[in-house]
Amino acid sequence: MTSLTRLYKDLHAHPELAFEEHRTAAIVAERMTALGLQVIEGIGGTGVAAVLANGPGPTVWLRADMDGLPVHELTGLDYASTAIATTADGLETPVMHACGHDMHVTWLVGAMEQLAAHRDEFSGTIVAVFQPAEEVIAGAAAMVDDGLLTKVPHPDIVLGQHIGPLPAGLVSLTSGAMMAASDDISVVMHGRGGHGSTPQRTIDPVLAAASTVVRLQSVVSREVTPGELAVVTVGKLQAGTKSNIIPADAHLGVNVRSVDASTRERVLAAVERIVRAEAAASGMTTEPDVTLLASAPATMNDPDAAERLRSRFVDAFGDRAVIDYGTVSGSEDVSVLSSSAGVPLVYWFTGGADPVAFAAASAAGRAESDIPSNHSPYFAPVIEPTLQHGIDALVVAARTFLESPAG
């Protein structure tokens, strides 16, 4: 077993929630220090940056996120997570690397080791950015707000990759809009509680919340231009403690995905309008609380830089190994780093699924149901060739935007 395989299995078995990545950050800092790099810890809470300065030339940032998810792992792996943590809401939860950030960290560690070992082959500066709290779309902003741009050399470009349920050995690179913007909205509907046997004495927030959930499903189908990417999901609905007690309040968690700015504004306005209208229709005398908790912009790849990298990927991996999956409705906060620095971004997907299993599932028309995707409790990338291919992709990408050594 290689050192990087051991690292990956260790990280997978010990996931940490957003802004709690203390163990992961310490491991990363130790590995980067061992390479003789300048290491800055504690940026934005648990973020780590490592600087490989190698003569004159461009500065390239390579970014990996570190946090896990509140998911109970069901993969059955011998290195599966059994971690339990407490959420920001004070709830105890199992934790899993269900989005592959353990692989992202291992990729970046491996890439930095390889780049450091071959300094004679390029000129310029590489900054490895190990970012916390991507899952709550807050970590990139936290690092920027904590002075990341003043603590490490300013980038000329920001690069990164995300594991996905594609066959290992494939990369998917899209010019322009690659991933959607994300908005998380908290809704609290204020009713009047009472006994379940006398609903006429109450204002039932459960019924109002249920009606709101159903009505929100009309936003995309009736208020968004067909063909435009938009998603409205109610992922949280909490109310009450007992079947015969009508509670005073109901809580909803709403998530909106979009790419076009005008579509985003229209959908967000529609969500708030429907929430307030359903509250009024239920006779609520107190206005609902509608709070935008967090937002991430759409992930937009610089077209020129993306096409330059696509050519290099084709040279390195072959034409059939480089695809364009198109814009996806998932979201990222990596573009906060590039936009804050005012530089181009190129971000891509690297496959992590067993190629044989993927081919069989595709042939049966069952790839989407049989190949676990990100955030699934069964998400388990095949370690090889995923690990080495991801390292190679980062190295190729970094070298694409660095200079050849003089002489």
**Beta bridge partners of residue 376, listed in sequence order:** none
Closest CA to 126 of 171, 63, 173: 63
The crossing angle, in degrees rounded to 10, of helices 3-13 and 383-400 is: 110
Active site residue 289: no
Q: Kindly name the residue from 16, 20, 21, 65 that is annotated as catalytic.
A: 65
Q: What is the DSSP-derived secondary structure letter of residue 208?
A: H
Active site residue 65: yes
Q: Kindly name the residue from 21, 67, 135, 302 that is annotated as catalytic.
A: 135
Other CB atoms closer than 10 Å to residue 384's CB: what's the count?
11
Q: Provide φ and ψ at 313, rounded to 5°.
A: -65, -40
Cα gap 57→36, rounded to integer Å: 20
9 CB-near residues (< 8 Å, 6+ apart): 79, 383
Contact indicator for 32, 126 with CB cutoff of 8 Å? no
Closest CA to 8 of 81, 76, 62, 71: 81
Q: Which residues are catalytic?
A: 65, 135
